[in-house]
Every structure is written in C-alpha cells, then in structure tokens.
Amino acid sequence: MTYTAPTRELRFILEDVVAMEGLKTTGAFEELSSDLTAAILEEGGKFCAGVLAPLNHSADQFGAKIKDGEVTTAPGFKDAYKQFSEGGWQGLSFAEADGGMGLPNALGAAFQEMLQASNMSFGLGPMLTMGALEVLTHAGTDEQKALYLPRLISAEWSASMNLTEPQAGSDVGALRTMATPVGDGSWLVEGQKIFITWGEHDCAPNIIHLVLARTPDAPAGTKGLSLFLVPKFLLDDNGEPGERNDLRAIGLEHKLGIHASPTCVMEYGGNGGAKGWLIGEENKGMAMMFIMMNSARLGVGAQGVGIAERAYQLALEYARDRGQGRAVDTKDYPAAIIHHPDVRRMLMTMKAKITAARSICLACAVASDYATHLDDEDERSRAKAREELLTPLAKTYGSEVGVEVSSIALQIHGGMGYIEETGAAQHYRDARITPIYEGTNGIQAIDLVGRKLNMMGGYPMTRLIEEMRETVEDCATSSNPELPPIGARLANAVDTLELATEWLRNPQRDKADVLAAATPFQSIACDTVGGYFLAIGALAAQRLLKDGEETGFAKDRIALTRFFAEIILSTIPGRLGDVHAGAALLFSLSEEGLGA
C-alpha cells in the first residue's frame, strides 16, 4: 500500500494545461520556474509518500481516542505533524513576509492533493488550518495577524472551523451559538458545535478555533452571523499559550471513514463562556465563511482527486500482479488481469477522470492566484469570477471522482477488495465524506446555477464557453488525426452546456425548475470542462510530439483524451433532457406515493 507522488502528471498540468507560469506576469512570483515547481513537487511528494502514506492504514485501524476531553491521535501522527511543520508545508502558498514560502496557490493545491492522497485523516488537520489562514490573512486585524499568523503558517499551532450545529447543517443560518461582548474588545462565546474536524488533538500546543456565532440583537438567518477567533489556550502577554479557555471536546463521532481524523463535538462556554475575538465586522460572518469555504471546497476537490489517485495506484498494482483467466490478446494463462478488456476499461476510466478532475482543481487554484495578485481591478474581478465558477466544479467533480474511482478500484480487487487488510476498502470509506462536507454536492449545484451562472451578467460561464470553443477549433485544425475527433466530441458537449446554460438563465424560468436542473447541469459542466482541460493537454502533448520530446508520455496523453472524449463527452448531448425535465416531474409522485 505504497503511494507514488504523481509529480510528472502534476507538473504537466500546472505548466502545460493551466499555465501556472503565466502568474509571473502579475509580478508576484518572480522566482517561479519549471525547476522550482519540479523541486517543490519532488520534495513535497517525498514527504507525503515517505512519512504520511505509511501511516495511513495503521492510523485507520487505531482511529482517534477521547478521554476527559483529551484526544489522542494515532501512533506516528504527532511526529509526522512535527515533520510537516518543520518542512514549512503549511505555509507553501502564504506570503514570505508572514513566514510562508510565497508560492502560488496552484502549487499549494498540487501539494494538497499529494497530502490528502497519502493520508486523508492527517491531511484534514492542515486543510482546516489553511482555511483559517485564508480568513486571517484577508480579514484579521494587524494584532490578530501578528499574534496568530506566524504560528499557524508554521503549523506550530493548528486551527479548526466551527460552523455546523445539530439543527444547522446546509442551512448555516439556523445556528444558535451566541457571542456576547464583554466590553474590552473580547466576546464570550457559548454554544455547541458538531462535526468539528481536528477540533481537539495532541499534535499541537494550541488550537485556534474559528467559530460562527450570533451576536445579541443580530438579524435572523445568515445576515446575523459573525465569526470569532477562540483559542484553546488564551495567549499571555508574551503571546504564548497561557490560561485554558472555556471550551472542550465532549465527544468524537464514530464514522464510516477518516477514522484517524478526530471529528469532535465541541462545547463553548459552560463556565462563564469561551473568550473570543471578532474577525472582520459584526454580521459579516457569512463573507468570512465563504473565504474559508472557497479554500476548503478546493481542498476537498483536491482531496477527492488524491484519494482517487491513491486507490487507482493500488488497483493498477493489483491488476498487474493478479493472474486470472486467459488473455484475449496474448493467450497467456494465467494472464495478469490488466490484459482483460473490462479491467482495462476500468483503469482507463479511472485515469481519465482523475486527470480531468485534477485539471479543474488546479485551474481553479490558478484563477485564485490571479484573483489575488493581478494589479488591474477589472482583471482581478474577472479572475475571481473564474475562481468562483470553478470552485463548485472542483469540489463536486473531485469528490465524485474520489468516490467513483475508489469504488472501481475496490471492484478490480474482486473479493480481496472487500477485505479491510487490502486497503481498497479504506479509500472507499474515506472518500465517501467528500461529496458531503464543505457544502454537499447538491448545495454546490445550487450555488452554481443560482449564483455563479448569473454573476457579472453571466460573464464567467460565457467566457469559459468561448475559450472552450477556441480549443475545439485548435483540435479541429490539428495536423494529428487523433485531435479533430476529440474536438468534435468536445464541440457537442460545449453546445449542450451552452443550451443548458441559456435554458437556466432564461428570466422566465421558474425557480423550482432551475433548482430541479441543478445537479444534472453541474454534472454536464464537470464533464465538459474536464474534457476541455484534457483537450488542452492533448494539444500540448501534440507540441511535445512535434518537438520529439517525451513522445511516449505525449502519445499516452492524447490516447487518454481520446478515451475521455469517446466514452464520456459522447454521452453529454443525451443528458440535456435531464436538465430540461423540470420540477413537476420530480414532484410528480405524491409524498405519500414515495412511501413503501
């Protein structure tokens, strides 16, 4: 159950598909180079594969334990966390001035994928800290930044995100945790939060909780939410952890997967209230939350891709080793099952979807880099719109590919896949949370059709469709005969996506019909945009072929794209009916009729 960091793949997509080096034009990443990218990926991959991956299975078996509010993580986690901190990995995409490496978020997302692939339960800790760092960087006061940023960027301390309450999941506006001003600038926070990832653990001497709460007399719903910074240990005059704050983990969830990630029930207050400080303005908690959320959603997408890659590698190894039956081509007996067409189909499907989802995640990350670093405000807001459009796709496609690929990987193992010792089952269990948390994929779809399609007068999707048509044209006019058929399949998919987009944007469209179409539309968008990035990769591969460079790699990339086009893009026109079906069809069974 080893893991090989897919560094060549990641570098190819970063450089040749999502053009990360273009970020140098913003002036923010002058040092960026192919060598630096390669070095970071190699070093990061070495740490993930060498230190974290070997702990994955044993940590799953150990889980996490709680006793008297203290959480013990799996053997090896404490030391691995120390190495993670010492390597500076938490700060990869944060400013050098704050102690980070000052590299693009795109490179951070590539590292994130490897981190999550190697050990998802471990990787969740740093992923949550990253979300908190985004908020503090964007909205923290100078004092807050000075006190907390360096210790979080170094991963000396960790952070958690506290949104969910029993009655407030997807509907975050229903939360009830209260924050009352003390008068000295601090607040007293009281309430219970559930599903708090890494809310308590033994890997860091302090944990900084970001807690969404309601202030006295705040408006109802999401407009009355504010975000508070609530440290486990209050800082003394030297900024060191001092007095224990009035908060605690009162339970751990018993979950399907990610057993080694402590999912805590957190209690704030009870002995006077937990001391906290407002981040940003009062009643602007939702805006803060979306900063965290965008980071976390991309992180979950990368996580899904990571688990998929890991599961794929395990299945590929098994398919090469396991002999069963006679090969249809060589007639060898027993043949490794990789020679059977049906197994080959499964492997190709896995690899093609992983590549598509990975590309969307990294493209989303590059957009976020432009959205942060471009000088021109209009250009910046257009980049932001691209990031916002791609975020639900990255989260949804990454997570769905994680679940699907880990299921196929299990299937390739046959009966052995169902046995926990093999490792395939753990990936299947772990991956299943990703379509749920940080906004279910259904919520992503509603965000996509409700907000993202209509922002800036529809600009981001309109522009993306234009770009996709340029790629269709590039494929159509390629001298390599494999590329025009790819272009043709992509063209049909883009046409379908455009028709679906226009249908949804029709101002006469009933809101219920728009909501009814959300999930099938999102599915079409994910496959189409994934196919688009694959096609860009195929065009880049064709340039490699022309230059006589890495011809094996280049041919394989074109073949993989051809497969995606023939098997997946080809189905898209047939899925338009699902978008157009309308709410009436979904509600055509009475609520009673849905019963047994």
Q: Give catalytic residues, as residue numbers.
A: 438
Q: How many residues bind a copy of itself (CB under 8 A)?
A: 102
Choose, by CB under 8 A, the member of 518, 525, 534, 545 that binds a copy of itself: 518
Closer to a copy of itself by Cβ: residue 150 or 442 = 442
Single out the residue of 306, 320, 377 nearest to residue 122, CA to CA: 306
Site map for a copy of itself, 346-385, x if CB under 8 A? xxx--x----------------------------------
Query: What is the Cα 301 distance to its own chain's centre?
Result: 2
State the residue for tokens 């399949």.
489
Question: CA–CA separation, 326 vs 323, rounded Å?
Answer: 9
- For the window 221-260, what string marks contact with a copy of itself as x by the rule CB under 8 A? --------------------------------xxxxx---
Q: How far is the CB of 250 from a copy of itself (least distance, A)?
A: 15
Q: Which is nearer to a copy of itself, 382 or 489 (CB)?
A: 489
Of 4-33, binders to a copy of itself (CB under 8 A) are 4-6, 8-9
Coil, strand or helix at 449: helix
Question: Which residues inside 170-189 make contact with a copy of itself, applying CB under 8 A?
Answer: 170-171, 174
Shortest Å distance, C-beta 26 to a copy of itself = 31
* From candidates 176, 244, 344, 451, binder to a copy of itself by CB under 8 A: 344
CB 427 within 8 A of CB 118: no
Q: HEC states along 350-368?
A: HHHHHHHHHHHHHHHHHHH
Q: In this structure, how many other beta carbons lie within 10 angstroms of the beta carbon of residue 354?
A: 27
Site for a copy of itself in 56-95 (CB under 8 A): none
210 binds a copy of itself (CB under 8 A): no
Instruction: Using CB atoms within 10 Å of the CB of residue 141, give its burial: 0 to 12 exposed, 13 to 18 middle, 19+ buried.
Output: middle
- 446 is an interface residue for a copy of itself by CB under 8 A: yes
What part of residues 391-430 is at the interface with a copy of itself (CB under 8 A)? 403, 407, 410-411, 414-421, 425, 428-429
Structure tokens at 468: 């996709």
Choice between 124 and 385, CB closer to a copy of itself: 124
* CB contact set of 136 (below 8 Å; sequence gap of 6+): 144, 145, 148, 149, 152, 229, 279
Residue 334, preceding peptide bond in cis (omega within 30° of 0): yes
Residue 331 touches a copy of itself, criterion: CB under 8 A: no
Q: Which of residues 544-563 bind a copy of itself (CB under 8 A)?
A: 552-553, 555-556, 559-560, 562-563
The residues, any chain, with a CB within 8 Å of residue 130's CB and separated by 6 or more, are 90, 108, 112, 295, 296, 299
DSSP letter, residue 219: P
Closest CA to 457 of 494, 495, 497, 507: 507
Q: Which of 441, 471, 501, 523 binds a copy of itself (CB under 8 A)?
A: 441
Site string for a copy of itself, 556-595 (x = CB under 8 A): x--xx-xx--xx--xxxxxx-xx--x-x-xxxxxxxxxxx
Instruction: Read off φ and ψ for residue 71, nearest 5 degrees.
Output: -105, 130
Site for a copy of itself in 106-165 (CB under 8 A): 164
Choose, by CB under 8 A, the member of 239, 270, 328, 451 that binds a copy of itself. Answer: 328
Task: State the residue for tokens 């997408």.
Answer: 301
Give 244 or 345: the residue with its C-beta nearer to a copy of itself.
345
- Tokens at 7, concatenated: 């560094």
Q: Which of 89, 94, 187, 195 binds a copy of itself (CB under 8 A)?
A: 195
Element (H, E) at 397: helix 377-412
Which residue lies nearer to a copy of itself by CB, 163 or 383?
163
